[in-house]
Amino acid sequence: MAAAAVGTAEDRTISRKIGQPPTRTKCPAPFLLKTYELLEFVEEEEENYSGKNKVISWNEEGTGFVVWSPAEFSELMLPKYFKHNNFSSFIRQLNTYGFKKVASKRWEFSHEKFKRGSKHLLGKITRKKSDSSAFPAYLKPSDHIMAAKEENNITLQLLMEENQNLRKERLELQMQIAHFKTLETKLMDCLSQYVGNQHNKVRRLF
């Protein structure tokens, strides 16, 4: 039974690594590698059995691929590479990795970085977010949590601004006071010359 599927599944342990920088070329997702190798396989095989109808193949330009017979593909090929034989699950994965259906009358799919002869580009293909790796729906950006956070941040910023202004004002007021104190002393001294030579005597007048 599942010998083939399990075999390919275990290939994942060979080199798949998590948490590598997304900028560097990394080990492609198992799904992408298997799909690519599946296409490589049928391409090689095609030379030997050129008489048969194709089930799946690269398109003419190698910019995408066509599933010529979804029924045969699902029943015969999918289980050799994946743990199921459902065409819809295969499509779901294609969508997850950003493939586009590029023809209305046949099952042709393409992805900018999924081309014949460019296996090295597979590592650059990423899952679309929000699969469950991203935020749950009720915590997505522009939701109310985000709004609350933003509001918090705005409050914080306003407070810090006002705070800074208040400190500045305080300094100015303290300088004014220092000036008044000096002035007071001078006035007192001056006045004491008239009233009599005692500073304290003058002070008592006010």
Residues 53-82 vs DNA: string with x where CB under 7 A? Answer: -----------------------------x
Give the 3-state secondary structure of 26-87. CCCCHHHHHHHHHHHHHHHHHHHCCCCCCCEEECCCCCEEEECCHHHHHHHHHHHHCCCCCH
Question: Is residue 122 within 8 Å of 30, Cβ to Cβ?
Answer: no
- Residue 200 binds which of DNA, a second copy, none (CB < 5-8 A, kind-dependent): none
146 lines the binding site for a second copy (CB under 8 A): no
Of the CA atoms within 13 Å of residue 160, those in its CB half-sphere come to: 6
Nearer CB in complex with DNA: 92/167: 92
Residue from 1, 105, 131, 200 binding DNA (CB under 7 A)? 131
Beta-carbon contacts of residue 112 (< 8 Å; ≥ 6 apart)? none
Pairwise CA distance, residues 13 & 9, whole Å: 8
Residue from 45, 166, 198, 201 binding a second copy (CB under 8 A)? 166
| Residues at the contact surface with a second copy, assessed by CB under 8 A | 1-6, 9, 79-80, 83-85, 132-133, 135-136, 139, 152, 155-156, 159-160, 162-163, 166-167, 169-170, 173-174, 176-177, 180-181, 183-184, 186-188, 190-191, 194-195, 205-206
